[in-house]
Amino acid sequence: MQLTDQVAIITGSARGIGRATALSLAREGASIVVVDINAAGAQEVAAEITGLGQQALAVQTDVADQEQVQAMVQRAMEVFRRIDILVNNAGNAVLSPLLETTAAVWDRTLKIHLYGTFFCTQAVVPHMVAQRRGRIVNMSSVSGLVGSAGRVAYSAAKGGINMLTKVLAVELAPHGIRVNAIAPGAVETELTRAAWTQADREGYFRLTPVERSPEVVDILGLEHADDRIHHRDVQECEHARARQQIEPHVGHRCAPNPVHRELLPVPVGDEVLFLGPHR
Ligand SMILES: NC(=O)c1ccc[n+]([C@@H]2O[C@H](COP(=O)([O-])OP(=O)(O)OC[C@H]3O[C@@H](n4cnc5c(N)ncnc54)[C@H](O)[C@@H]3O)[C@@H](O)[C@H]2O)c1
């Protein structure tokens, strides 16, 4: 077991990528704090983890609310006495072109993604500093790397997360804390299933070398989301590149961009973990 005795907080882990990450880390031996605004969903995932023989704690939290985040981290410390891993994954996906983006949509989207990542990180880091060790992974998106019409607030928030990741990777490295981000293309989850038309789905399918609509298991790091993720070698990146070759711009509310067939790893933080399509 790679993560025995380690404790991971995973936000937005009641379903989708967060749930899969939580189960993956639990299978590696970690105890999991299942954090989600959806209390019932968080409880269900915690029960699944307990069924795997690992410890789990479900904490209903709106990551956009700093007080709730602080209370969640305090609760995690009371129960587990340490926090080794934080995965900032909670998010929504509002498709909204500029002229349809209200201040409320802009505000809520940035609050969940960017502020939520900031709040959770700020609450967890003092404990990691005390331990002189920590691992933080932020769930970004290709929408934070390349222009994607119709995703004004979402892309701005993910772009902010990218820069936050870079800054914190440098700032926290002396404390033994590594900060990285993952930037998936389109992945089939409940979130995207609700938003995609059949034409969108087929578009992604055609442009994906895995020859099917990309799913959670294709996300870089799910099989390696422990310390190995931070020591990924070039070969692993190449492998991930092949699996992550996804055209993210075929949404029905997104302007079709030229097909990006080339994926390049972009150095972020102290390791290469950002993968996204580049011209
Ligand atoms: N699915 C994709 O194609 C895709 C691509 C790139 C990036 N991402 C990112 O991956 C992350 C997860 O996406 P997903 O597809 O699994 O979505 P999902 O909707 O399936 O899961 C998101 C989870 O976050 C929770 N959540 C939402 N707002 C929250 C809040 N304020 N506080 C706490 N929890 C909250 C939801 O309840 C849900 O359980 C998001 O950050 C998303 O932007 C997804």
CATH T-level assignment (fold) for domain 7-277: Rossmann fold (3.40.50)
Q: How confident is the model at residue 13 (pLDDT cuts 50, 70, 90)?
A: very high
Q: Is 138 in the pocket of ligand 1 (CB under 6 A)?
A: no
The dihedral sign for the CA sequence 190, 32, 38, 160? negative
At residue 116, what is the residue type?
G
Q: Does position 77 have pLDDT exceeding 90, yes or no?
A: yes
Q: Which residues pair with 117 in a beta bridge?
A: none
User: What are the residue boundaries of the structural domains of the chain, listed by start?
Assistant: 7-277
* Each residue's pLDDT tens digit, 136-179: 999 999 899 988 789 999 999 999 999 999 999 999 999 999 99
Q: What is the Cα–Cα distance from 225 to 209, expressed in whole angstroms?
A: 23
- Options 154, 196, 204, 274, the catalytic residue: 154
Residue closest via CA to ligand 1's atom 21 equals 16
Q: Which pLDDT does position 68 carry in this prediction? A: 98
154 annotated active-site: yes
Q: Which atom of ligand 1 is nearest to the CA of 15?
A: 39
- CB 38 near ligand 1, within 6 Å: yes
Q: How far is the CA of 182 from the centre of ligand 1 (A)?
A: 13
Spatial CA neighbour of 138 closest among 104, 115, 171: 115
Q: Is the CB of 192 under 6 A from ligand 1?
A: yes
The two tokens of residue 69 are 């985040």
Interacting residues of 130 by C-beta distance below 8 A, sequence separation 6+: none
